[in-house]
Amino acid sequence: MQNPDIARLFDEVPDLLEIQNANPFRVRAYRNAARTIRDFPEPIAELVRAATKDLTEIPGIGEDLAEKIGDIVTTGELPLRKQLAAKLPAGLLDLLRIPGLGPKRVKILYQKLKVKSAADLAKALDAGKVQKLKGFGPKMEEKMRAGLGQAQVTERRMLLNEAETQALAIVGYLNAGGNVRQIEVAGSYRRRRETIGDLDILVTSDASAAVMDRFVRYGEVREIVSQGETRSTVKFRSGLQVDLRAVEPAAYGAALQYFTGSKAHNVELRKIAQEHGYKLNEYGLFKGTRRVAGKTEEEIYAKLGLDWIPPELREARGEITLAREHRLPRLVALTDIRGDLQMHTSATDGKGTIDDMAHAARALGYQYIAITDHSKRVTMALGFDAKRLREQWKTIDEWNATSRGFTILKSIELDILENGKLDLPDDVLAEADYVVATVHYGLNQTEKELTRRLVGAAEHPCVDTIGHPTGRMLGKRESYRFDFDAVVRACVAHGCALELDGHPERMDLPDTLAAAAKKQGARFVLSTDSHQPGNLPFMRYAVDLARRAGLESGDILNTRPLADFRRELKRSKR
C-alpha cells in the first residue's frame, strides 16, 4: 500500500472516535499519525515488509500505532476502524463527505435529531429542524443543502500529492517490467489540478499485451474493469480508477495532447484544425486520410499555427490566443525559487526544530527561509506571545551569526483577529524581517466583516503578505466569503503580497484567483506551510499553482536573491 492509502484509514479513525465522544488526546493522536504517514518521504509499507526501520523512530508514532500500521500493510485493513464503524449507522459516515460538516456537527445531528444518513439530513433540513440547533445557522444550512450530493459519492477526488504517489508507483512498476518505450500520465494530473479524479496513462510498446497483463497484476488493483491488448482499466484499493492505453509511436503526441487538455481546450483546438482543413483526434492531425502530425505535441500545435502550450495552461482560459500571438508567459519553474516563506517548528505545532528546518531547506538549495510559527491567538498550536517570539528571534540571530550563504528570516504567522486587529503589537512586528498575516478564526463572519479584516491587514505597514488568503481546506472546508477584488486592490496599493500556499490540503490561492490578481498588478510569494522537514518539497505544488495561474518568475518575490527580496518587501519602503 502507498502512504496515502495507509493515511486514509487513519483519517477515518479520529472522525469515528470524535463522533463517539472519545478522549480528545486520542483523537488528536490519530489525526497527527495520519498527517505524519501521508507526508513521510519513504514508502512505509516497504519499511514494514523489509523490517529495515523501527516505525517508533518516526515522530508521533508509538508502539500501538506502529502495530496498527503493520496490520494495515499485511491485511489491507485497520481492525479498529471496522470496530468503530460497526457501532454507528453506515449512512452516518457518508455525511462527513459534505464540505464543512465535520465529526462534531455530525455527532450533534445524530444525537439531537437522530440523523443517520443523507436522506435523514435532507428531511431534517426541509422540516426546519437543523437551523434551530446551536451552531447551525442559515449559512451552514445552505452549505449542507449544496453538499448533500457529495454524501452519495463513493469515489472521492484525491489530493494532488496523493495521486502523485500512486502515479509514480504505477509508472515505476510498469517501467520495471520492460517493454515500455514511452510512458506519461496525462489528464488532469498532467495539468496539475489540485485534486485528481482518475489517472490516464499512455505508453508506446512493441509488446502491448504483455504491458497490459503486468498492469492488471499490480498489487494495488482491487478490480479489473476491462483488459485488452491496447487498453485496460482497473480500480485500486484506494478507489482510484486508472486507465492504461497503448498507442503507436506515430500517434503518441496526438494521444498525449488529446488526453491532457481539458474538454474545452480540445474543442477549441479541433475548431482551429477544421479552419485549416484538418481533422484532429487522439490518433493524429489528418489532411483527408493522411496523417500530417502526431508523433509529438509540438508538431501538432505548430501545424495549427500555435506555440506549444504548457500542460498546466490547457484549460481554455485564453491560452490559445496567447499561443497564436506568441505571447505565452514564461512560467515560473521550481528551480527559480530561492526560499520558502512559511513553515512551523516544534515550538508551536510543527515537528522539527529550527535547525531541522534550516538543514532541510539548505539541502534543497535555498538561500533563505522564514520561520513563521503561530502567534498567540492560535492557542491549540501554543502560539507565541511577544516574549516567546523575541526569544525565538534571539536564537535565530545567533544561528545567522554563524551561518554562511543561508539566512533564516525572523518571522511570524500573525493572526488577523475577529475585530480586525492584529495579534501582536506594532513594536514587535516592526522588529521582524517578514510577517505573513492569516485568518484562522471567525470564518463565519459576514462577507463585509471578513473583507474589512483582510483589507486592514493588507494596509498595515508591518504586514508583508496575506497568507492562504481564502482559508479553504480541500475536501473539508470551502473558502470563507469575502470581496477578493477589494483585498487585491488593497494589496496592490500598499505593496502587500499574496501567498500561494502549496500545502496539498490548502493549495491557496486557487489558480483562477491568482490569475485574476496578476491582472490587477498583484505580487506573490510561494510557500509550503511546512510542519516538518519532510514537507519542504511541497514547494513543487505551490509552483504548480503558480504555473496554472500563468505566473512568471518576476511575479514572485521569493525567486529573488535575499538582498533583492528584502528590498521588494513593504517594510523596506517605509
For 496-538, the pLDDT digits (tens) are: 999 999 999 999 999 999 999 999 999 999 999 999 999 999 9
Range 336-573 has CATH code 3.20.20.140:
yes
Q: Supply the DSSP symbol for 291.
A: E
pLDDT in tens, 34-69: 888 887 777 888 888 877 678 888 877 888 888 888
Q: Once rounded to an integer, what is the mean pLDDT over residues 130-146?
A: 81
Which residues contact residue 287 at a Cβ distance below 8 angstroms, ignoring those fewer than 6 apart? Answer: 277, 278
What letter represents residue 499's amino acid? E
Q: Strands 221-227, 339-340: parallel, antiparallel or unpaired by DSSP?
A: unpaired
Alpha-carbon span 7 to 14, nearest angstrom: 12
Largest Cα–Cα separation, the chain:
76
Residue 201 has pLDDT above 50, yes or no: yes
Per-residue burial over 97-126, b if 16 or more Cβ lie within 10 Å, else e, is bbbbbbbebbbbbbeebebbbbebbeebbe
Q: Which residue has the higher pLDDT, 249 or 54?
A: 249
Please state at what angle helix 138-147 crosses helix 118-126, rounded to 10 degrees. Answer: 140
Q: In the predicted model, what is the mean pLDDT of residues 85-89?
A: 83
Judged against a pLDDT cut of 60, whether residue 155 lies above it is answered with: no
Which secondary structure element, helix H or strand E, spans residue 245, and what is its range?
Answer: strand 241-246
What phi, psi does 12 have (nearest 5°)?
-75, -30
The average pLDDT across 215-221 equals: 93
Does the pLDDT value for residue 327 go beyond 90? yes
Q: Is the pLDDT of residue 139 over 80?
A: no
What pLDDT does 154 receive? 47
Banded pLDDT at 150 (limits 50, 70, 90): low
Evaluate if residue 101 carries a pLDDT over 80: no
Query: Is the confidence at residue 198, as pLDDT, over 80?
Result: yes
What is 122-172 written as a DSSP string? HHHHHTT-GGGSTT--HHHHHHHHHHGGGGG-SSPPEEHHHHHHHHHHHHH
**Which residue reads 502587500 in cell numbers?**
496
Q: What integer is the mean pLDDT of 556-561? A: 98
The pLDDT score that the predictor gives to residue 188 is: 96
- Confidence band for 338, pLDDT divided at 50, 70 and 90: very high
pLDDT of residue 316: 93
Domain residue limits, the chain: 3-152, 158-246, 251-324, 336-573
* Mean of all residue pLDDT scores within the chain: 91
The Cβ of residue 300 has, within 10 Å, a number of other Cβ atoms equal to: 25
Cα separation, 295 vs 282, in Å, equals: 11
Check pLDDT > 90 for residue 1. Answer: no
Residue 151: predicted pLDDT: 60
pLDDT tens digits, one per residue of 456-498: 999 999 999 999 999 998 877 888 899 999 999 999 999 999 9
Q: How confident is the model at residue 11 (pLDDT cuts 50, 70, 90)?
A: confident
Q: How far apart are alpha carbons 273 and 261 in whole angstroms?
A: 15
Q: pLDDT exceeding 90 applies to what percent of the chain?
A: 66
Report the candidate in 164, 218, 204 with the shortest Cα–Cα distance to residue 4.
Answer: 164
Task: Give the residue, 283 or 351, on which the prediction is more confident.
Answer: 283
Q: Where does the pLDDT of residue 3 fall: very low under 50, low under 70, confident under 90, or very high at 90 and above?
A: confident
Nearest 10 degrees: Cα torsion 124, 127, 128, 132: -60
3-152: CATH number: 1.10.150.110
The per-residue pLDDT for range 271-310, each reduced to its tens digit, is: 999 999 999 999 999 999 999 999 999 999 999 999 999 9
Whole-structure pTM value: 0.85
Confidence band of 149 (pLDDT split at 50, 70, 90): low
Cell of 178: 520492460
For 409-422, the pLDDT digits (tens) are 999 999 999 999 99
Cα 400 to Cα 224, 356, 409, distances in angstroms: 56, 14, 9
Return the CATH architecture of domain 251-324.
2-Layer Sandwich (3.30)
Q: Tell me what pLDDT residue 30 has.
A: 86
Say which residue the cell 527561509 belongs to.
Answer: 369
Per-residue confidence (pLDDT) for residue 7, from 0 to 100: 84
Give the residue with greater pLDDT, 153 vs 403. Answer: 403
Answer whether residue 547 shows pLDDT above 90.
yes
> What average pLDDT does range 242-254 have in this prediction?
97
CATH 3.30.465.10 fits 158-246, yes or no: no
